[in-house]
Chains A and B, each alone.
Chain A
């Protein structure tokens, strides 16, 4: 970092101890009402190494609840993360903040490892749970602090967790996650379930700002070494109560994420490889070099979102309008909706998927990639395009020579692409 950045603290007559914050790394996921304020407040206290992630464009009507860093009408239609990063860099005077136009679902656990803090400022439970599942899998010695907050009417809350007491999902009611559209496929691809229309809660800029203040203050206290803020939930109740309370949240016995998701230890870095630039063939060669063996299977990326699981690559499918065969698609289920599985001709003609074909035509899928099923086309596919996320923990299995899992122990090896973290600062936009 340029030494002149220290002038940022001195020139603005900010507290000396803010200089210690200059090296802190924070990722803020969601740059809306709360995230925008948090990013601003953190930047103004010296936390300048921020990564901002949001896929939404800023709209004029957002202005009434968000930070004034967004300019109306100039920024209408532009991606929130990128605009906010630009404004903060203008404020700081250096290119420190990086904005990525992407959905949280483009990122796996290792994208956030080695950060100091992750702040989840999302407005839907499915995304929060997804973020939780990613965070839970980060190895313990590299796990950042997790802070998330929200508003309920005029009330604001923030939660600061380190994973030792409970997870984010422990604080949720499972009823909030029910999506009646979820149904798992008996056969072939499990297409991406459409998200339920968001239920917009009536809240105010004041409540959002209050939550953001709590989050920023928690960050400040943590960076100063006050462990008392960790594993605490803070709730502010507005007028007439005007009450601020804090308590330690507890683990929920029935939390599925606490059961299913644990820190993945002994994750090995595959050097000089990342999911945006390297292919399936590169991955297979790298794993083969590590294991000194070609007898292994690389499991397809497994994504759980909105209580549905997506864990296969669609190899061949059928156009959902005309029924024509779609060969060698190699697209992940999560990135494929039934409505979008159309041939080029039907797409160009603006035709729509035919629901009556849903039961009649089924594609073929892959659950794992091995030397026997990895043809030239698949070898040449970019990892991200076949569903591997930035910072994905890629599981490789080796069978112990027996027939199946009951016969001999199956060994699991977790890997990640070392360069995934390095390219985070170079990513502009991701579709997925």
Chain B
């Protein structure tokens, strides 16, 4: 994929993410890590639980949690990473002990013959996991199995999910978010070579 196409895709997905979320999710572009194209910071205002480190098995309640979507230089062939801020990692069977969220299989087909995972879909999944939507809890392949009993107990007692999905994700008309103005392309489009003549 041409670099300018990659940037355009990121910009389009960023716009879609902004349109998808409600005001309870604040999205901010922050300084990327070395080797990353972009880093998005998500501040989520919803009832959820966190642990302070990988050894903590006593989740604490909070109504605000922060995660980052790290888009690497090799995107979309290289999958993005999602991680929570240190000291306040999401307490979930889908979140590893080091604070990285398990975002499942990443599919990229440069020929677009098959399905491709999107950033929007990834963010949606993380938001659903934050409120413990049962559709995303993966007990078959747990990133943090120490929290399995705790999470299942909460589901059984009716405390999970902690709120409606519409608290975080908009299902009505998209908002009027303008797409970022991208830098001017300075790279010429590659010319497809002519097919050999018979």
Residues on the A chain within 8 Å of B1, using CB: 259-260
A406 to chain B, nearest CB (A): 5
Bound state CA distance, A404 and B37, in angstroms? 6
- A259-B1, A309-B77 known; A367 vs B33 contact (CB < 8 Å): yes
A352-393 interface bits toward B, Cβ cutoff 8 Å, 1 = contact, 0 = none: 000000011110001111101100000000000000000000
Count of chain A residues with a beta carbon within 8 Å of a chain B beta carbon: 47
Does A299 lie within 8 Å of B35, measured CB to CB?
Answer: yes
- A370-B34, A397-B73 known; A309 vs B29 contact (CB < 8 Å): no
Q: Which of B96, B145, B195 meets A362, CB within 8 Å?
A: B96
A366 to chain B, nearest CB (A): 7
CB-CB nearest in chain A for B40: A404
Q: Which of B36, B77, B113, B143 meets A254, CB within 8 Å?
A: B113
Does A406 lie within 8 Å of B111, measured CB to CB?
Answer: no
Does B98 lie within 8 Å of A372, measured CB to CB?
Answer: no
Q: Does B158 contact A (CB under 8 A)?
A: no
Does B73 lie within 8 Å of A362, measured CB to CB?
Answer: no
A100-108, A109-117, A180-188 - interface stretch: A180-188
Residues on the B chain within 8 Å of A304, using CB: 77
Q: Does A300 contact B (CB under 8 A)?
A: yes
Within 8 A of B (CB), among A201-251: 231, 248, 251
Does B38 lie within 8 Å of A404, measured CB to CB?
Answer: yes
Residues on the A chain within 8 Å of B102, using CB: 186-187
Does B184 lie within 8 Å of A409, measured CB to CB?
Answer: yes
Q: Does A412 contact B (CB under 8 A)?
A: yes
**Interface core residue of A165, A299, A367, A404 (most chain B CB under 10 Å):** A404
Does B3 lie within 8 Å of A410, measured CB to CB?
Answer: yes
Q: Does B79 contact A (CB under 8 A)?
A: yes
A425 to chain B, nearest CB (A): 33
Q: Which of B73, B96, B183 meets A408, CB within 8 Å?
A: B183
Does B100 lie within 8 Å of A362, measured CB to CB?
Answer: yes
Q: Does A255 contact B (CB under 8 A)?
A: yes
Within 8 A of B (CB), among A256-274: 256, 259-260, 262
Q: Does A66 contact B (CB under 8 A)?
A: no
Does B29 lie within 8 Å of A359, measured CB to CB?
Answer: no
Bound state CA distance, A304 and B106, in angstroms? 15
> Which size class do B's interface residues fall under?
35 or more
A108 to chain B, nearest CB (A): 16
CB-CB nearest in chain A for B182: A406
Residues on the A chain within 8 Å of B81, using CB: 186-187
B179 to chain A, nearest CB (A): 9
Within 8 A of A (CB), among B109-145: 109-111, 113, 142-145
B7-15, B44-52, B160-168 - interface stretch: B7-15
Residues on the B chain within 8 Å of A412, using CB: 3
Residues on the B chain within 8 Å of A406, using CB: 7, 10-11, 14, 29, 38, 180, 182
Does A404 lie within 8 Å of B98, measured CB to CB?
Answer: no
CB-CB nearest in chain A for B15: A406
Bound state CA distance, A368 and B101, in angstroms? 22
Q: Does B105 contact A (CB under 8 A)?
A: yes
Does A260 lie within 8 Å of B183, measured CB to CB?
Answer: no
Q: Which of A256, A297, A361 meets B34, CB within 8 Å?
A: A297
**Interface core residue of B30, B35, B37, B145 (most chain A CB under 10 Å):** B35
Does A405 lie within 8 Å of B7, measured CB to CB?
Answer: yes
Does A362 lie within 8 Å of B97, measured CB to CB?
Answer: yes
Q: Does A77 contact B (CB under 8 A)?
A: no
Does A403 lie within 8 Å of B96, measured CB to CB?
Answer: no
Residues on the B chain within 8 Å of A410, using CB: 3, 37
Residues on the A chain within 8 Å of B10, using CB: 405-406
CB-CB nearest in chain A for B143: A359
Residues on the B chain within 8 Å of A183, using CB: 105
Does B34 lie within 8 Å of A373, measured CB to CB?
Answer: yes
A181 to chain B, nearest CB (A): 14
Bound state CA distance, A309 and B1, in angstroms? 16
Does A405 lie within 8 Å of B38, measured CB to CB?
Answer: yes
Residues on the B chain within 8 Å of A404, using CB: 29, 31-32, 37-39
- A360-B97, A362-B96 known; A368 vs B37 contact (CB < 8 Å): no
Bound state CA distance, A121 and B155, in angstroms? 57
Q: Does A311 contact B (CB under 8 A)?
A: yes
Within 8 A of A (CB), among B157-192: 180, 182-184, 186, 190
Q: Which of B109, B113, B190 meets A262, CB within 8 Å?
A: B190
Does B106 lie within 8 Å of A372, measured CB to CB?
Answer: no
**Interface core residue of A259, A297, A359, A407 (most chain B CB under 10 Å):** A359
Does B183 lie within 8 Å of A186, measured CB to CB?
Answer: no
- A231-B196, A397-B73 known; A359 vs B96 contact (CB < 8 Å): yes
A316 to chain B, nearest CB (A): 11
Does A187 lie within 8 Å of B83, measured CB to CB?
Answer: yes
Besides A260-B1, A406-B38, 15 other CB < 8 A contacts? A164-B193, A187-B81, A187-B83, A187-B96, A188-B98, A254-B111, A259-B1, A299-B73, A359-B97, A369-B34, A404-B32, A406-B10, A406-B14, A407-B180, A409-B183
**Nearest 7 Cβ contacts at the A-B interface:** A368-B35, A367-B35, A187-B100, A259-B110, A368-B34, A404-B38, A405-B37
15 CB contacts below 8 A, A to B, read A184-B79, A186-B101, A187-B102, A251-B195, A256-B110, A300-B35, A359-B144, A362-B98, A367-B35, A367-B72, A403-B31, A404-B31, A405-B38, A406-B182, A412-B3
